[in-house]
Structure 1
Amino acid sequence: MTREEKSIAIEDLTAQLADANIVYLADISGLDAGTTSDLRRACFKAGIKLEVVKNTLLEKAMEASANEYGELPTTLKGNTSILIADVANAPAKIIKEFRKKGEKPVLKGAYINQEIYIGDNLLDSLVAIKSKEEVIGDIIGLLQSPAKRIISALLNNAESKGEEAAE
């Protein structure tokens, strides 16, 4: 790879990182071609961009980025794949699903809305993160609950008064 190609690759990675609030780093080395293809397909269906990157180029892109990646660059050893998503727990769910069949992919770390997560041991915690839509649904459910109880009480009260009037 020439210097110019490296420079272009770093610029592309920097632009991708600038647009991303959710970035996962994983090791997918050792997966056979079929499993890798299945992983790519699952990521595509979930709206996740999966790309195998060179550690040095990604590290330089992280340094050039406006985002603060903290200790995340220290995980850039061995093979690294970057997963960029819009839903915070989507890459974690895919990694966990594929781990049912084998030891890989291994989570190296994640950058989620300015928070840094390092280590494969955090995979279950990342799966449990709720998406924006799930949180909004929970809030709407909580807000509707008291209103539903009031309406139900009013309807029951009205029905009982209607029965009294009929007698």
Structure 2
Amino acid sequence: MTREEKAVIIDELSQKFASTPYFYITNATGMTVSEVNQLRSLCFERGVEYRVVKNTLIKKALETLDTDYTSFDEVLKGFSGVMFHPESGKVPAQLIKDFKKKSGSDKLKFKGASVDTALFVGESQLDVLISLKSKQELIGEVIGLLQSPAKNVIGALTSGGQNLAGILKTLSEKED
């Protein structure tokens, strides 16, 4: 690979890292061709972009960004693949877990992830990432919490109105 080709890849990766708030670095050493094809198919189904890139190119691309990714230095060893998802930090984590369960092997290893510039390093962080809520889920919960008191007040007022009407009707019928 020439220097110009490397520069192009570094530039592309830099733009991808800057524009995608959620990316994962994985290790797929020892996977068979059919397992890699399964992984790529699963990535396509879930809207995850998967690329295998040299560690030095990933490192140089990360160095161009404002965020400090020096804790990824230990992660960028061996075989590395990068997973990008534009909307959720949870989708790639769930994909890795599902792939391990489906394939019955631990060949796909989670090395690290950046979720809205928060860094997660090590296989033990995978369950933490799966439990993260997306921005849309959090907004939905906040809206639900904000709407709940208003719904309770409206419900009380409408049921109270029906009760009051029922009481008045009963009283008017008794006077007859």
| TM-score of the two chains, using structure 1 as the length reference | 0.93
SS in 1 for 2:168: helix
**Offset at residue 74 of structure 1 (A):** 2.1
**Offset at residue 29 of structure 1 (A):** 2.1
SS in 1 for 2:73: helix
**Offset at residue 32 of structure 1 (A):** 2.1
Say whether residues 1:45 and 2:45 are aligned partners.
Answer: yes
**One-letter code aligned to 2:165:** G
- Equivalent residue runs for 1:64-103 within 5 Å: 64-86=64-86, 87-100=88-101, 101-103=104-106
In structure 2, what is the Cα distance between the partners aligned to 1:45 and 1:66? 32
Aligned-residue sequence identity (percent) comes to 37
| TM-score of the two chains, using structure 2 as the length reference | 0.89
Instruction: Determine which structure has more spread, i.e. the larger CA radius of gyration.
Output: 2
Deviations 1:61-87 (A, max 9, x none): 111223322301321111100011121
| Residue in structure 2 matched with residue 155 of structure 1 by the alignment | 158
| Residue in structure 2 matched with residue 115 of structure 1 by the alignment | 118
**Among candidates 134, 139, 143, match of residue 142 of structure 2:** 139
SS in 2 for 1:74: coil
- RMSD across aligned positions (CA): 1.3
**One-letter code aligned to 1:64:** T
**Structure 2: gaps of 5 or more residues:** 171-176
**One-letter code aligned to 1:56:** T
4+ residue runs over 4 A deviation: none
In structure 1, what is the Cα distance between the partners aligned to 2:114 and 2:139? 22
**Structure 1: gaps of 5 or more residues:** none
SS in 2 for 1:88: coil
